[in-house]
Structure 1
Amino acid sequence: MTNARTQAVADAGVSIWLDDLSRERLDSGSLEALIADRNVVGVTTNPSIFAAALANGEAYAPQVQELAAAGTDTDTDAAIVAITTEDVRRACDVFREIYATSNGFDGRVSIEVSPLLAHDTANTIAEAKQLFDLVDRENVMIKIPATEAGLPAITEAIASGISVNVTLIFSLPRYREVINAYLSGLEQAAQRGHDISKIHSVASFFVSRVDVEVDKRLTAIGSDAALALKGKSALANARLAYQVFEESFASERAATLLANGANVQRPLWASTGVKDPALPDTLYVTELVVGKTVNTMPEATLNAVADHGEVTGDRVTGEYHDANRQLDAIAELGIDYTQVTQQLEDEAVEKFVVSWQELQGAVAEQLASQA
């Protein structure tokens, strides 16, 4: 039976996606169970998720043996692509019906371009197209980071008819650039003769890491005023991102595209696992409930919502004034928003690079063991 609490999240207009995937989850039927029991209608992956999956990856042994026998052991990255696209392809098939019944908004599975390419536009474009072709499923989404180099890659992928999950968005100015990249891509796609109604995108706005960094700085300041602001900046930032979404897709430019069949680029709340044990473990789900959004959750967060998450309606659109006030108060204490969000972007790219290197090591070791 579907969980009443996750059903309430879904009924409020939030699509629940699972931030995890592994061969074991696919083989065991765990993914189908979460679809049935927890209202899960999509999946996101990243290098860290696959690194963890491969590190405990007995389920991958048969495919590793095949790759080693085929001589792929001389190219670890090619083996990684083969392994991860197989998982994503299978997950896409699990979600085929949801994809069809939601008209392409859900039933989505995301796979990310190599983080080593985060500052390389041309090769990001090439890899996005390669991953799209290799997965060979209409409901795949290719994840491209919202770095400066990623923005033109987003436009080109959309223009080529590829649905994109834009990842690693931390700041409101960068989010506006992401929306512009999406709209530009749609305009070019239409010019190239693509059916723009088939192109979808989500903009993954990272939440918890903002609180982690800002709260560290507030703690260092240590005043009563500073400490009173802890645990508030991430929600404020995300809520103002939704205001940007509303304003941007109400523009004449967006309206023209929407009238011709285009889809809005939904905000996706990412990094929704709470890092501070002093904060409620469902904070970045229940406090960001609003229509036309996605919340991608680690399984622990999803289970917490299912157990005790309380949905109290729209927690975003009536909060813009307070959100602005909270970010202004943080700025008045000397915390530089632009510096914080750029630091978070840089750190996020580096963390995924480290995870990618761990993934390379795990796959290389498994391939070598078959030699």
Structure 2
Amino acid sequence: MTTIDDLYQLGTSTWLDDLSRDRIKSGNLAELLETKSIVGVTTNPAIFASAMSKGTAYDAQIAELKDAGVAVDEAVFAMSIDDVRDACDILAPVYERTGGKDGRVSIEVDPRHAADHAATIEQARDLWAKVDRPNVMIKIPATDESIPAISDALAEGISVNVTLIFSVDRYKQVIHAFKDGIKRAAEAGKDVSTIHSVASFFVSRMDSEVDKRLEAIGSEEALALRGKAGIANARLAYALFLQELGEDSGLPAGANPQRPLWASTGVKNPEYPKSLYVSELAGPNTVNTMPEATIDAALAEGNLHGDTLTGTQDEAQQVFKQLKAVGIDMADVVRVLEQEGVDKFVDAWNDLLESMAANLK
């Protein structure tokens, strides 16, 4: 038994926040499932940008796509889809063993569509059909324009990973969209037991932005609050999850609750324990998607201390009161993070398209 196994016993599934063709072809991904108890994989535009810009694993497919005259964005998605499909096959035994709860691999819609509902839902359908594996999840950002696409996708039986959530208020909208989509799926006669969803709450980015502002304030009270906002924010989200998606959720019979997923869990401040966002966000019906370095840190540090989510709402609210008292405008923090979140993925995607365009000439 490892720390990751212990984490699973507490109710938190560990998913790897990374994917590349090298991981798949070398057997590394399969090895991680066996040796580090990983039960899922998430990807994003930045991850694929990194994977496709290194090594030679994609060279043969790039040559084929070049000869076929495929447009650059179609080429990038063709390679991404192949990787996700292969990863889904590797994780299929986990999917079967857990009844579809885990064994999931996520692929994201084009981040440039974040403000376009029609384009988002169209691509969600396209990715779902082209990956053509029951354990794929389509990542859709929690922007004002894309939230209706979350409902639409779920209503059609598409499993969805809702990404880029930074606030409890936004999370309320996501839960509403989830409930609406599952209700519509049931009304349409779909087997809702086959539809799964997670809501990805970003953690370390919250601390990075708030800590920067606390350091600018500089008072003893402000500095004492560094490294607390991200965890408190996630714990408040978990309290809302229990309230809205617990035993009295009102979901159709057989429906699976949308689990909170802790994303951006690699610490960005070297002064914090590397497994901070693992040990402090452990609890029932959750997922933690981690870069491999964070997984290794959790295995090495082994500092779990039980369920650190249930019953933490009051303490988390107190942190937010203290942040407000020292002058932190959390509404503005969230506004900045939401815009930066989309922009970072768009920038990564554009960089990838630019480099791939050169390869396809």
**TM above 0.5, one fold?**
yes
Structure 2 counterpart of 1:255, from 250, 253, 274: 250
Aligned residue number for residue 132 of structure 2: 136
Aligned residue number for residue 325 of structure 2: 332
Structure 2 counterpart of 1:42, from 40, 63, 86: 40
State TM-score, norm by structure 2.
0.98
Q: 1:63 to 1:351 in 2, by over 3 A?
A: same
Instruction: Give the deviation of 1:6 after TM superposition.
Output: 1.5
Aligned residue number for residue 237 of structure 2: 241
Instruction: Give the deviation of 1:255 after TM superposition.
Output: 2.9
Aligned residue number for residue 297 of structure 1: 290
Give 3-state SS (helix, strand or coil) of 1:58's partner. coil
Aligned residue number for residue 18 of structure 2: 20
Give 3-state SS (helix, strand or coil) of 2:311's partner. coil
- Aligned-partner Cα distance in 1 for 2:183–2:289: 28
Aligned residue number for residue 120 of structure 1: 116
Structure 2 counterpart of 1:89, from 80, 85, 91: 85
C-alpha contact (below 8 Å) 1:51/1:362 kept by paired residues? no
Aligned residue number for residue 53 of structure 1: 51
Could you list the per-position Cα deviations for residues 171-230 of structure 1 after superposition, in whole angstroms to 9, with x for gaps in the alignment? 001001000000000111112121111100000000000000000000000000000000
Aligned residue number for residue 178 of structure 2: 182
- Aligned-partner Cα distance in 1 for 2:299–2:42: 19
State TM-score, norm by structure 1.
0.96
C-alpha contact (below 8 Å) 1:170/1:341 kept by paired residues? yes
Count of residue pairs brought into register by the alignment: 361
Aligned residue number for residue 322 of structure 1: 315
Could you list the per-position Cα deviations for residues 318-355 of structure 1 after superposition, in whole angstroms to 9, with x for gaps in the alignment? 32111100011101122111111121010010000000
One-letter amino acid matched to 1:318: G
C-alpha contact (below 8 Å) 1:54/1:362 kept by paired residues? no
One-letter amino acid matched to 1:130: D
- Aligned-partner Cα distance in 1 for 2:334–2:302: 29
4+ residue runs of structure 1 moved beyond 4 angstroms? Answer: none
Structure 2 counterpart of 1:5, from 3, 6, 21: 3
Instruction: Give the deviation of 1:362 after TM superposition.
Output: 2.2
Give 3-state SS (helix, strand or coil) of 1:142's partner. strand
Could you list the per-position Cα deviations for residues 44-72 of structure 1 after superposition, in whole angstroms to 9, with x for gaps in the alignment? 00000000001104100111111111111
- Aligned-partner Cα distance in 2 for 1:140–1:250: 25
Aligned residue number for residue 272 of structure 1: 265
- Aligned-partner Cα distance in 2 for 1:206–1:129: 25
Aligned residue number for residue 65 of structure 2: 67
- Aligned-partner Cα distance in 2 for 1:35–1:334: 45
Aligned residue number for residue 350 of structure 1: 343
CA RMSD of aligned residues (A): 1.0
Give 3-state SS (helix, strand or coil) of 1:335's partner. coil
C-alpha contact (below 8 Å) 1:203/1:266 kept by paired residues? yes
- Aligned-partner Cα distance in 2 for 1:206–1:248: 20
C-alpha contact (below 8 Å) 2:153/2:160 kept by paired residues? yes
One-letter amino acid matched to 1:125: I
1:106 matched to 2:102? The reply is yes
Aligned residue number for residue 222 of structure 1: 218
Q: Percent identity?
A: 52
Stretch moving more, 189-198 or 265-274:
189-198
Q: Which runs of 5+ in 1 are unaligned?
A: none
1:160 matched to 2:160? The reply is no
Give 3-state SS (helix, strand or coil) of 1:56's partner. coil
- Aligned-partner Cα distance in 1 for 2:267–2:327: 25
Q: Which runs of 5+ in 2 are unaligned?
A: none
Could you list the per-position Cα deviations for residues 21-79 of structure 1 after superposition, in whole angstroms to 9, with x for gaps in the alignment? 0000001111011100111000000000000001104100111111111111xx10000
Alignment of 1:350-369 (within 5 A): 350-368=343-361
One-letter amino acid matched to 1:71: G
- Aligned-partner Cα distance in 2 for 1:219–1:289: 28
Could you list the per-position Cα deviations for residues 275-298 of structure 1 after superposition, in whole angstroms to 9, with x for gaps in the alignment? 001111100001101011000000
Q: 1:250 to 1:13 in 2, by over 3 A?
A: closer
Could you list the per-position Cα deviations for residues 139-180 of structure 1 after superposition, in whole angstroms to 9, with x for gaps in the alignment? 000000000011100000000100000000000010010000
Instruction: Give the deviation of 1:96 after TM superposition.
Output: 0.6
- Aligned-partner Cα distance in 2 for 1:226–1:336: 13
Instruction: Give the deviation of 1:101 after TM superposition.
Output: 1.1
One-letter amino acid matched to 2:26: S
C-alpha contact (below 8 Å) 1:197/1:263 kept by paired residues? yes
Give 3-state SS (helix, strand or coil) of 2:57's partner. helix
Give 3-state SS (helix, strand or coil) of 2:261's partner. strand
Give 3-state SS (helix, strand or coil) of 1:255's partner. coil
- Aligned-partner Cα distance in 1 for 2:174–2:296: 31
C-alpha contact (below 8 Å) 1:32/1:94 kept by paired residues? yes
- Aligned-partner Cα distance in 1 for 2:340–2:304: 32
- Aligned-partner Cα distance in 2 for 1:144–1:31: 24
